[in-house]
């Protein structure tokens, strides 16, 4: 494994995912996580249309 992984999920009051914490300690937005996953910078994510699914 060379890329980071997502280690925490942050949600708003409506229970919508708004950001993530990475294994490197960064807090990144949902959109940035999606872009980085598409670029292969974040591992363990399968992108389906506009949703992310964490693979365990």
State whether residue 31 is helix, strand or coil.
Answer: helix
Query: What is the model's pTM?
Result: 0.77
Summarize pLDDT for 5-23 with one digit per residue, the tens: 999 999 999 999 999 999 9
Summarize pLDDT for 21-31 with one digit per residue, the tens: 999 999 999 99
| Alpha carbons 21 and 49: distance in angstroms, whole number | 22
Burial class (CB in 10 A: 0-12, 13-18, 19+), 4: buried
């Amino acid at each position: 494994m060379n890329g980071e992984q997502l280690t925490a999920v942050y949600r708003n009051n409506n229970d919508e995912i708004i950001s993530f914490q990475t294994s490197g300690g960064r807090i990144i937005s949902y959109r940035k996580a999606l872009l980085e996953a598409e670029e292969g910078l974040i591992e363990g994510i399968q992108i389906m249309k506009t949703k992310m699914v964490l693979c365990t």
